[in-house]
Structure 1
Amino acid sequence: MHAPNPLLVEWRTPFTLPPFEAIEAGHYRQAFDVALREHEREIAAIADNPATPTFENVIDALELAGKTLNRVGGVFWNLSGTDSTEELRAIEREVSPMLARHYADISLNERLFSRVAALYQNRDDLPLSGEQARLLELTYKSFVRAGAQLSGADRERFAETAERLASLEMNFAQNVLADEANYIMELEKDDLSGLPNEAKAVAAQAAQAATDRHAAHPFALTLSRSSVEPFLSYGDRRDLREDLFNAWIARGEHDGATDNRRIISEILDLRRERAQMLGYKTFADYKLEPTMAGAPAAALDLLDKVWAPARARAGAEAAALQKVADAEGANFTIAAHDWRYYAEKLRLRKYDIDQSALSAYFQLEKMIEAAFYCAERLFGLRFVSRTDLPTYHPDVRAFEVLDRDGQHLAIFFGDYYARAGKRSGAWMSNFRNQRKLGGDIRPVIVNVMNFSKPLPGTATLLSLTEATTLFHEFGHALHGMLSNVVYPSMSGTATPTDFVELPSQLFEHWALRPEILQKFALHHETGAPIPQDMIDRIIAARHFNQGFATVEYCASAYVDFLLHSRADAPEDVVGAEKEILRGVDMPSEIVMRHRTPHFSHIFAGDGYAAGYYSYLWSEALDADAFAAFEEAGDIFDPATAGRLRDYVYAAGNQRDPNEAYRLFRGRKPEFGALLLKKGLTEA
């Protein structure tokens, strides 16, 4: 007799966490089949209900439907990102189009939509709370935007495109992961000249981990960012920096099985087709309608305002780097693979900041403590380590999160180390989101990073950028943990993309505040706090290299935005990328942060498609938002933190984000603080 599928039975674990140790890859396919059939029955019952449509028998019922499917998907999609195997990737290839077709069928269910539409048309006569009225509007519009008003052959074509897009986006993501996983640059000891000891240790570990690929050299580099960036910043071998950089920017652009170029062209074409079927001129018009920006012109205007001063600053920075290279006798013009190397030399010369020496004060453990401390001071949270809870990998840490009254609020998983099978980057996700409908359901939130795991007995040391990334993702986690809404579809981070980055980017401000650094930036060997003069130099250098950082980001945002603003899809997407960059006069010494063939934000799903500008929009918001604490004279001001919790972190999508921001700040956002924050204009 076979044991029951652990994904399909009641979980009798603490906090009803997934029983990770009992779940095997072979369980997923059956679980998805069962969950899909169950959800189909639930949807049919709502659509075919003979009773007069009410909020309860339509909207509440839709919100509660799909419990098993959400539970199975919550486990599968998280683990396929953190611990991918060929078996899981094969399931992805099967399940992705099935799920896309399933949700398309729901959106195109005429009987179901007629019941939603009946409620929406009579909404002014219904006794609805503000959150219910917002949910009804969002639900109705989501059906319309998913093709519910199409008829005849257009309805079937719309469903077909959804299914095809799911397959293409999944293939795109798997190709990037494959290119990252299959690359290795083997090195000898002399090849590591210039690297700090921590980076050398990482290279040694990479070589040991690659023994299954018959690595014959004592050191190796992979395409993990934690491997690439230190070598580009400190490696003295220019030829090796060039080889590594070229491999890094060419992910997804190789002839053969992992080539993403034709996949991108088809994705763009299908997105354009879907938008035009719904009456929009371009996909960008479709995508921006429900955002804070509201229309492409507003987003493009913000990019243009930042681009010119950033482009000018980057030119001045390039000239300064060239002087450093010339002074060392370099007989070449600075190229993209040289920028980080000479930037570190200039940073050291100008501000006496050696990033490798600085990282000695940024221990992973202390930065986690710092993030927890800020959450406690701002929102009254307490994080209790729970080694007794099930986790999906031995490196994952589990914490119970308590509110200021000591009551259970959430479970938080921290997955900090890079490993084989984990996609690159950093992100926040959830195994379960918060809701009150059907019971007080508490969230299970996860932060995923890709820091280099240290040798046993040694500390994990972070760069300034990595420390800030930890705070950024923890800001997203707080958005999920503090959520306090009734309806699951409005919970946590389920907001427009140009608002969802506000909680994360705002939380970054606390990472490098002197009050935090003095308390948590402690030397990993001596325990001594970071010297005040080093803090002063960090603050003085906060705008260093900002032209470069802003240009590489804005270039990616322009490419995303303008590709999705076309009336046709380019056959040569790399050629189109180059054309867009020529149009904005992209500096030759800088490469866009995410080149098109591996731009997972916009092609491994459409969450940020035509919306990569959102980070800049949210950065304008976060600069203005943190100013509220500065104006209060206390970075933990209780009244300001209370409004921030109520109207931003806890509010989910229960009100229009422009209104949510106004309630927090007392006025509309003022974007002038953005250029000042970046150092692209004078105070």
Structure 2
Amino acid sequence: MKTQAFKLTTLCMLSMGISQVAFADTVRSTLPKFQTKDIPAQCDATIAKTKKQLTDFEKIKLKKHAEAGPILAKWDQIFAEFEDFYGPINLYSNVDPSADLRKAAEDCEVKISQFQTEVYQNSKLYQQIKKTKASNDIDAKYRQDILDGFEDTGVQLPAKKQARLKVILDELTKIQQEYARNIRDNPEKLEFTPAELKGLPDSYIAALKKNDKGNYLLGFDYPEYRPFMELADNDDARKRYQIAYTRRGTEKNLVLLKQAMDLRYELAQLFGQASYADWALRNRMAKNPETVNKFLNEVHSTVAPLEKKEVQALREFKAETLKIPVEKAEIDRWSEGYWSEKLRQAKYKIDQEKMREYFPTQASQDWLFAISSDLYGIEFKPAKVDVWQDEVEYYDVTDKKTGQLLGGLYMDKFPREGKYGHAAVWGVKGGSTLTQRKPISALVTNFNRKGLNSDELETFVHEFGHALHGILSNTRYTSQSGTAVERDFVEAPSQMYEEWARRKESLSKLADYCKPACPRIDDELIAKLKAVNNYGRGLFYSRQTLYAQFDMALHTADALKTQPLDVWKKLEGVTALGYVPTTEFPGQFGHIMGGYQVGYYGYMWSEVMALDMLSAFGNNLNNPEVGQRYRQTILSQGGQKKASQLVVDFLGREPDNKAFFDEITGQRD
């Protein structure tokens, strides 16, 4: 899940290109298109306009305990209008085809970050919010969220510390951008001979580019990398590709990550906190590093023995396949995916490349629209609007019963040079019931054009869950719209939705949308897919735990003495597959430089709640009554309530972790 670093929020439409089209009793707003040369001036003008609005906000005469509602609405209006500009800028810096435009957008983001710090260090603005008194729970939470934003940006710090904090935040923005750019814009291509591509399907090879020697050139896009690692027979070629893939951020990113660690530690010190982890976790569900580390230790103790058992099973399978002694059948990091895929095919008769025949990309999208429509009572209506690239699609999302426009969905599905390299959703625009403002989500993936395997289908459904979380939001304030929830809950709705990509009652319908016809999912295939999903739980969750432990280890009180690659070598070195010399995973671990620092644990923390919430659907995932209740109690609420309360509202009880531990051990029904 990709979130905006600066969640600003509003009421008015910005006049700088936001398109407005009459639709029923509401207004469709679409994203503006920018010209590279215009962005600097537009950026400066937008910031200046917002500053003027905030100056006027400072001058509002307020008595102590003034009613919060009107003041919060005004605040929300100012920042929602700003979001009309910043939201698209943040998206385009990651997806626009023009490298020059992406760079201009990034430069603007630096100015935005500087402006953010100025706003939230402004004591006059802080006091205006502080003077108010909320008369209801929604206003009380929004008021506290705003005050937390001020306090987290140092409004209560002495002037000298405030100034240093501002420098730190500016530097972190620049470092994070450079880190991401080094990965995203890496032009390197690896050369492989035709013999090194043995094992890969003809359809994969046909899509590759050749050089003048007749060799194939592969880059770091996921649709090229993952099939190679799972299907290429040549062990040396896979090793070479994996090492290059982990180094695609270049050594520069190891330096940048260390700089970010040191700056984050210094930030925490300014607030009197022992570590960045202590500082960052204060307002999350977990509250403190001790709780996070205890949770990770519990998961690790559960899955580490399973990981060893699964690696041993791979060794035995490799030995049997190659007719060699088990002691000579080593499984290396670069061969785990290959032998796991071989074992899946042999044991469960599942060929992930063949699964693309069951899940054509367009049919998968049409199916996903249909099951979401039935579950939540919504419709997706294509509309022709300006987009940043010809293949990008746009849909109005409407309520079936009322015909009301709920929001807009952009979909950018296929890889291209310079585009964000994985799968993510940008909540480009938040909604507000006060102003009838409609939310916009942009779903970005890098899929095979012809079809998806079962893992990619889950990814599609997962990211679509984030998009719906934004679009089905129905909050009073824009700032609390959609995924504006605690970081360690934000993945839960999407993780829960993944189940729809696994169960027969939903998957069996996918073939209805295939043109031309595709194979239909039957009971036998569902059983195999379930077995495949349960297979490798130890390896998968051990890896997830490793990522989370590494993230936490970088942000302790000893951060200044810590080198990220040394920590990684130590932590990965004690896993069942060990550390591969010369690999540099920390230099391409985008999560900890893109908003998930001291947050990667949240994927598993969220999954505890996701799997427990799933229990409400019982044996019928397509139950529209439960779907509507879920829409109203979880999705529509955004961040108006604490995540813990949202879960209780939906389940009618406190959450339970049994389903999660059954899942990670492959025992869930």
TM-score, length basis structure 2: 0.91
Task: Pick closer, same or farther for the CA change 1:273–1:612 going to 2, 3 Å.
Answer: same
Paired with 1:623 and 1:521, the residues of 2 have a C-alpha distance of 27
| SS in structure 1 at match of 2:408 | strand
Which is worse superposed, 9-18 or 185-194? Answer: 9-18
Paired with 1:215 and 1:494, the residues of 2 have a C-alpha distance of 51
| SS in structure 2 at match of 1:65 | helix
Residue in structure 1 matched with residue 425 of structure 2 by the alignment: 428
Aligned residue runs from structure 1 range 50-449, under 5 A? 50-52=61-63, 54=66, 55=68, 58-83=71-96, 85-92=98-105, 94-119=107-132, 123=133, 126=134, 128-179=135-186, 182-202=187-207, 204=208, 207=209, 216-217=213-214, 219-254=216-251, 259-327=252-320, 328-329=322-323, 333-386=330-383, 388-405=384-401, 406-437=403-434, 439-449=435-445
What is the Cα deviation at residue 10 of structure 1? 5.8
Paired with 1:397 and 1:591, the residues of 2 have a C-alpha distance of 41
What is the Cα deviation at residue 538 of structure 1? 1.3
Paired with 2:307 and 2:655, the residues of 1 have a C-alpha distance of 27
1:101 corresponds to which letter in structure 2?
A: Q
Paired with 2:647 and 2:568, the residues of 1 have a C-alpha distance of 35
1:373 corresponds to which letter in structure 2?
A: A
Residue in structure 1 matched with residue 545 of structure 2 by the alignment: 554
Paired with 1:253 and 1:541, the residues of 2 have a C-alpha distance of 35
Residue in structure 1 matched with residue 4 of structure 2 by the alignment: none
Q: Does 1:505 align with 2:495?
A: yes
What is the Cα deviation at residue 107 of structure 1? 0.9
Which is worse superposed, 416-425 or 274-283? Answer: 274-283
2:558 corresponds to which letter in structure 1?
A: A
Which is worse superposed, 363-372 or 54-63? Answer: 54-63
Describe the superposition over 1:430-484 as per-residue Cα deviations: whole angstroms up to 9, x where unpaired. Answer: 33221123x201112111000133xxxxxx1111110000000000011001000
Q: Does 1:11 align with 2:11?
A: no
What is the Cα deviation at residue 663 of structure 1? 0.7
Paired with 2:332 and 2:534, the residues of 1 have a C-alpha distance of 22
1:651 corresponds to which letter in structure 2?
A: Q
Paired with 1:480 and 1:295, the residues of 2 have a C-alpha distance of 28
Contact 1:468 1:508 in 2 (8 A): yes
Paired with 1:248 and 1:188, the residues of 2 have a C-alpha distance of 18
Paired with 1:521 and 1:246, the residues of 2 have a C-alpha distance of 39
Task: Pick closer, same or farther for the CA change 1:526–1:71 going to 2, 3 Å.
Answer: closer
Contact 1:494 1:653 in 2 (8 A): yes
What is the Cα deviation at residue 168 of structure 1? 1.0
For structure 2, which runs of at least 5 residues remain unmatched after alignment?
1-13, 23-27
TM-score, length basis structure 1: 0.89
For structure 1, which runs of at least 5 residues remain unmatched after alignment?
1-5, 209-213, 454-459
Q: Does 1:37 align with 2:43?
A: no
2:56 corresponds to which letter in structure 1?
A: A
Task: Pick closer, same or farther for the CA change 1:415–1:93 going to 2, 3 Å.
Answer: closer
Paired with 2:48 and 2:19, the residues of 1 have a C-alpha distance of 20
Paired with 2:668 and 2:92, the residues of 1 have a C-alpha distance of 46
What is the Cα deviation at residue 332 of structure 1? 5.4
* CA RMSD between the two structures: 2.3
Paired with 2:74 and 2:38, the residues of 1 have a C-alpha distance of 28
Paired with 1:591 and 1:313, the residues of 2 have a C-alpha distance of 21
Which is worse superposed, 489-498 or 557-566? Answer: 557-566
Contact 2:18 2:30 in 1 (8 A): no
Paired with 2:516 and 2:531, the residues of 1 have a C-alpha distance of 26
Q: Does 1:664 align with 2:650?
A: yes
| SS in structure 2 at match of 1:309 | helix
Paired with 1:10 and 1:79, the residues of 2 have a C-alpha distance of 15
Contact 1:347 1:353 in 2 (8 A): yes
Residue in structure 2 matched with residue 587 of structure 1 by the alignment: 576
Paired with 1:252 and 1:10, the residues of 2 have a C-alpha distance of 35
What is the Cα deviation at residue 13 of structure 1? 5.0
Q: State the percentage of identical aligned residues.
A: 24
| SS in structure 2 at match of 1:390 | coil
Q: How many residues align?
A: 642
Ranked by relative contact order (alpha carbons within 8 Å, sequence separation 6 or more), the top structure is: 2
Task: Pick closer, same or farther for the CA change 1:129–1:682 going to 2, 3 Å.
Answer: closer
Task: Pick closer, same or farther for the CA change 1:18–1:161 going to 2, 3 Å.
Answer: same
